């Protein structure tokens, strides 16, 4: 088996006409993982388990009793828990931790007979934009291993990019699915906030975090979202709207598509990405959609607002890692205070500590109003204004990122430059709206992929995906 499958439809077709069996497919992906070990995408591979499952599910397929995702081999970002399996959020502080339960998304994947092949490397606690913040070393971009794959879900992106599995799950707080999807040339989506249960996702910033898929096709994206979405009593922040029910059909009507002038004209935007975005808009126009230039004058406020609010939430969420309940405890823990201090000092990496300190600072009584309250107000404005635009236009188009995948080490000593990698992606997290990164058909001159972002109204994932498929 040498061929690369780009969708479950293709795989299921070959299985049903007898030219492929699931155990061979799993072996293929395992050999790919083995061959690409240098990319450091996987922290653990569930080899025996995946093989065993492939035999079980093949029998179900033969008997006609298999679930919707039979044939899908999928990887999980290391911050999504799976019962009786380790999860570390790529942090030393969770070394040796095994979960007692599975995330809701994992239960739903398994119930439809997906095969989980392993857990993927990421930035520690999902904080980063390059996957250089993992306690287990950086992930490399398969297209050019001297470059980053983006972050924080870099391992999940590279796993799909290098054909080590058909699809994967990541988490996105400010761009962590879409940015690596753009850097690796695949599809990645931040679903509407409240569409997917966060139960079993190790929390970074709870009012922003969503789990979402990486895929090589629009059809797989739709399928996985349909399976993992929907009300879950374990997550009180969920919308009561029910599951997504995405049906991919050609977009019938002419859509009103807006592009944000302030993004396209931003001085930090790589000219090749600008050109690609404008070309993409021309393609949409040629398909009968109308294109409108709009202004959104909050671009410079978005990353600071995002940073203040997410670090505040992180400082609270990460207080549970104290050496008492989960994972590692420092060998120098003598009493309660030294347990907390030493476990956290030794267990967390530099970026995580920086964010906990910043978040704690903005929540202190002296600075709360100046930073936290103000940022909440700005978030509200951004949300309201974004939804206002979406009353007039069906879809907003921006580049996903302002640069292509950068060199390893290029930004690692410059947190501000790294935070600006999220310039175009944080808007949807601040507003809670769905956003999809699609791979542009042409790569940049140096061969690196370019991503285009489509943002839409809450729960209009179907429209974004239908447009992407046209």
The distance of closest approach from Cβ of residue 178 to ligand GLN in the complex, given in angstroms and rounded to an integer, is 9
Contact between 138 and ligand GLN (CB under 6 A)? no
Contact between 183 and ligand GLN (CB under 6 A)? no
Q: Which of 128, 191, 434, 456 binds ligand GLN (CB under 6 A)?
A: 128
Site mask for ligand GLN (CB under 6 A), range 258-297, x = bound: ----------------------------------------
Contact between 174 and ligand GLN (CB under 6 A)? yes
CB closer to ligand GLN out of 1 and 420: 420
The candidate with the shortest Cα–Cα distance to 88, out of 123, 115, 60, 52, is 123
Prior bond of 152 cis (ω within 30°): yes
Active-site choice (176, 197, 216, 229): 176
Active-site choice (130, 152, 171, 315): 152
Contact between 172 and ligand GLN (CB under 6 A)? yes
Residues numbered 187-216 forming contacts with ligand GLN, rule: CB under 6 A: 204
Contact between 175 and ligand GLN (CB under 6 A)? yes
Tell me whether residue 466 is exposed, middle or buried, using C-beta atoms within 10 angstroms of its C-beta: 0 to 12, 13 to 18, 19 or more: buried
CB closer to ligand GLN out of 151 and 347: 151
Tell me whether residue 2 is one of the annotated catalytic residues.
no
Contact between 126 and ligand GLN (CB under 6 A)? yes
Question: What residues contact 148, with CB distance under 8 A and at least 6 apart?
Answer: 130, 131, 132, 138, 139, 140, 141, 154, 183, 405, 406, 407, 408, 410
The candidate with the shortest Cα–Cα distance to 423, out of 448, 394, 398, 443, is 398
Tell me whether residue 338 is one of the annotated catalytic residues.
no
Question: What residues contact 293, with CB distance under 8 A and at least 6 apart?
Answer: 258, 259, 261
CB closer to ligand GLN out of 176 and 219: 176
Q: Which of 20, 103, 117, 129 binds ligand GLN (CB under 6 A)?
A: 129
Instruction: Sheet containing 115-120: give its strands across.
Output: 42-45, 115-120, 73-77, 167-172, 210-215, 187-190, 435-439, 451-455, 395-399, 256-260, 290-294
Contact between 152 and ligand GLN (CB under 6 A)? yes
Half-sphere exposure of 27 toward its Cβ, with a 13 Å CA cutoff?
8
Contact between 87 and ligand GLN (CB under 6 A)? no
CB closer to ligand GLN out of 156 and 161: 156
Contact between 127 and ligand GLN (CB under 6 A)? yes
| Assigned token pair, 137 | 């070393």
The distance of closest approach from Cβ of residue 407 to ligand GLN in the complex, given in angstroms and rounded to an integer, is 17
Rounded Cα–Cα distance for residues 33 and 28 (Å) = 9
The distance of closest approach from Cβ of residue 127 to ligand GLN in the complex, given in angstroms and rounded to an integer, is 5
**Beta-ladder partners of 119:** 44, 76
Rounded Cα–Cα distance for residues 270 and 288 (Å) = 28
Residues numbered 307-326 forming contacts with ligand GLN, rule: CB under 6 A: 310
Rounded Cα–Cα distance for residues 156 and 223 (Å) = 18
Q: Which of 120, 176, 328, 444 binds ligand GLN (CB under 6 A)?
A: 176
Name the phi and psi angles at 433, rounded to 5. Answer: -105, 155
Contact between 422 and ligand GLN (CB under 6 A)? yes
The candidate with the shortest Cα–Cα distance to 54, out of 201, 148, 168, 165, is 165
- Do 212 and 177 form a contact (C-beta atoms < 8 A)? yes
The distance of closest approach from Cβ of residue 206 to ligand GLN in the complex, given in angstroms and rounded to an integer, is 12
CB closer to ligand GLN out of 175 and 213: 175
Tell me whether residue 77 is one of the annotated catalytic residues.
yes
The distance of closest approach from Cβ of residue 384 to ligand GLN in the complex, given in angstroms and rounded to an integer, is 22
Residues lying near ligand GLN in the complex (CB under 6 A) are found at 126-129, 152, 171-176, 204, 310, 422
The catalytic residues are: 77, 152, 176
């Amino acid at each position: 088996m040498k061929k690369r499958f780009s969708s479950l439809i293709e795989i299921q077709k070959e299985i049903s006409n007898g030219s492929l069996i699931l155990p061979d497919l799993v072996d293929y992906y395992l050999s790919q993982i083995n061959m690409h070990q240098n990319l450091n995408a996987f922290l653990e591979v569930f080899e025996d388990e995946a093989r065993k499952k492939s035999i079980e599910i093949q029998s179900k397929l033969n008997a006609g009793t298999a679930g919707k995702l039979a044939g899908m081999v999928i990887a999980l970002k290391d911050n999504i828990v799976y019962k009786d399996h380790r999860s570390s959020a790529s942090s030393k502080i969770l070394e040796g931790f095994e979960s007692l339960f599975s995330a809701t998304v994992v239960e739903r994947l398994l119930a439809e007979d997906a095969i989980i092949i392993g857990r993927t490397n990421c930035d520690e606690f999902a904080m980063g934009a390059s996957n250089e913040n993992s306690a287990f070393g950086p992930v490399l971009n398969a297209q050019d291993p001297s470059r980053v794959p983006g972050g924080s879900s870099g391992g999940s992106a590279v796993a799909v990019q290098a054909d080590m599995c058909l699809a994967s799950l990541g988490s996105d707080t400010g761009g962590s699915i879409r940015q690596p999807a753009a850097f690796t040339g695949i599809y990645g989506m931040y679903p509407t906030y409240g569409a997917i249960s966060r139960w079993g996702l190790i929390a970074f910033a709870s009012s922003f975090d969503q789990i979402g898929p990486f895929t090589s096709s629009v059809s797989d994206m739709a399928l996985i979202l349909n399976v993992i979405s929907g009300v879950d009593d374990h997550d009180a922040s969920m919308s009561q709207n029910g599951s997504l029910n995405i049906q991919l059909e050609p977009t019938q009507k002419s859509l009103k598509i807006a592009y944000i002038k302030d993004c396209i004209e931003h001085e930090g935007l790589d000219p090749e990405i600008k050109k690609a975005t404008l070309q993409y808009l021309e393609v949409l126009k040629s398909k009968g959609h109308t294109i409108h230039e709009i202004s959104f004058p909050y671009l410079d406020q978005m990353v600071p607002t995002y940073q203040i609010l997410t670090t505040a939430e992180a400082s609270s969420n990460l207080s549970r890692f104290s050496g008492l309940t989960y994972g590692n405890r420092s060998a120098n823990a003598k009493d309660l205070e030294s347990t907390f201090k030493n476990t956290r000092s030794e267990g967390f990496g530099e970026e995580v500590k920086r964010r906990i300190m910043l978040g704690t600072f903005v929540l202190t009584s002296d600075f709360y109003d100046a930073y936290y309250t103000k940022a909440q107000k700005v978030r509200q404005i951004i949300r309201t204004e974004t939804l206002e635009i979406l009353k007039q236009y069906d879809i907003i188009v921006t580049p996903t990122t302002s640069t292509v995948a950068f060199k390893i080490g290029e930004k690692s000593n410059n947190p501000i430059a790294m935070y600006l990698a999220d310039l175009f992606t944080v808007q949807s997290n601040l507003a809670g709206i769905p956003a999809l990164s699609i791979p542009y058909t042409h790569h940049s001159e140096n061969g690196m992929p370019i991503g285009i972002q489509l943002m839409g109204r809450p729960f209009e994932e179907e429209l974004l995906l239908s447009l992407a498929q046209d």
